Amino acid sequence: MIRETLKGGKGEVIKNPKVFIDPISVFTEIPYREDIIKETAISIRYFVKNDVRFSNLFLGLTGTGKTFVIRYILSEIEAVKNEDEDYANVKQAYINCREVGGTPQAVLSVLTEKLTNGIVPKHGINLGEYIEKIKHAVKEKKVIVYLDEVDTLVKRRDGDIVLYQMLRADAKISVIMISNDINIRDYMEPRVLSSLGPSVIFKPYDADQLREILSKYAEYGLFRGTYNEEVLAYIAAISAKEHGDARKAVNLLFRAAQLASGEGILRKDHVDRAIVEYEQERLVEAIKSLPFHYKLALRSVVEAEDVVTAHKIYTDLCDKLKQRPLSYRRFSDIISELDMFGIIKIKILNKGRAGGIRKYIEVSDKERILKALDENLSEEMGYEY
């Protein structure tokens, strides 16, 4: 049986998995985002050819195409370098702020490494020194910086200083920022806001738009005759209910097609199985990607009803693991970020003058979260729970 699977062919559904894994290498256009891409391209052209710096803020919920668009733009700029000499001196750097740690120090150190092509200390130098290193390295170039999930940076203490220093630096640097939080400007100081360009809103996809997007992926990625419009519409309708999440829709189509491998036809029951797997895997992967103290904080809130109690549990857990606990303020910030990620839910209850305001925590699927956390923490610390 394994030989038939290795060879493929009989009953196969997926024609080209690269369509789902690396769509930028396949698609030459992005449906329903053409206007945004064109306007951004004009700003880039003015920057490259006329020295007009710009800063854009892409806002929208998860799965509305923000990251896809900037990766597409980044890729197209690299391709244009072979056609237009004005772009030869353009240097680009993409950073996902959450993935690198989210602190001003972490983001700037990674950005400096990318733009200087050298190893940069992550500690021991101030933020201004990073900017100076960048300015020195790119003085003959034009730089476009892409900051994905910038809300995790801005919501940190002094996070918007990074933006201010880049936007006001005496260098040819333009910035495109991406945020899932449409209220991100509320966290920025006036001096930063005055340097920012316009916000670009990515509206959620509706069911019809998602169906068309899925049709494109199916056309390029699946064998003809292995799917029908009814199945694509079913996936689109499910994803449209979750604020038009195209990323989820495409992932569901890909996983359902994998489950249908060998059967030659993609059915609704394959999609239903993919939905269950997707929700489980998404939660586990989100937990695994969390920084260490975020995991400890999450484990603490699973056993508590409110943030104050959770911090006490967290402090005791740090003592057991011989780790220095974070302050209550920093811990509370982490809890807010976990809420933003959708892993937990925070409810604020005002009990009046006598009771004050308390943050209560709701955690669904506690058993699966605990299992993922304990396995992951055991691997990292060698500590058995």
Distance (Å, whole) CA 185 – CA 318: 34
Q: Quick one: how far is CA 233 from the chain centroid?
A: 26
Residue 241 in marked binding region: no
How far, CA to CA in Å, does 269 sit from each of 189, 276, 290?
50, 11, 32
Q: At 223, list the tokens.
A: 């064998």
Residues with Cβ within 8 Å of residue 139, at least 6 apart in sequence: 171
Residue 205 in marked binding region: yes
Distance (Å, whole) CA 302 – CA 372: 12
Residue 65 in marked binding region: yes
Q: What is the length of the chain?
A: 385
Minimal CA–CA distance to 172: which of 42, 49, 298? 49
Residue 20 in marked binding region: no
SS3 174: strand
- Strands, DSSP E only, in 221-362? 345-350, 357-362
Q: At 341, list the tokens.
A: 């990620």
Q: At 352, list the tokens.
A: 């009046």
Residue 152 in marked binding region: no
DSSP 13-32: -BS-THHHH-GGGT-S--TT
3-state helix, strand, coil in the chain (%, to 5): 55, 10, 30
Residue 40 in marked binding region: no
Q: At 267, list the tokens.
A: 């059915």
Using an 8 Å Cβ cutoff, are 51 and 172 in contact?
yes
Residues with Cβ within 8 Å of residue 338, at least 6 apart in sequence: 294, 297, 298, 301, 344
Q: Summarize the annotated binding site as residue ranges.
A: 64-68, 205
Q: Summarize the annotated binding site for ATP as residue ranges.
A: 64-68, 205
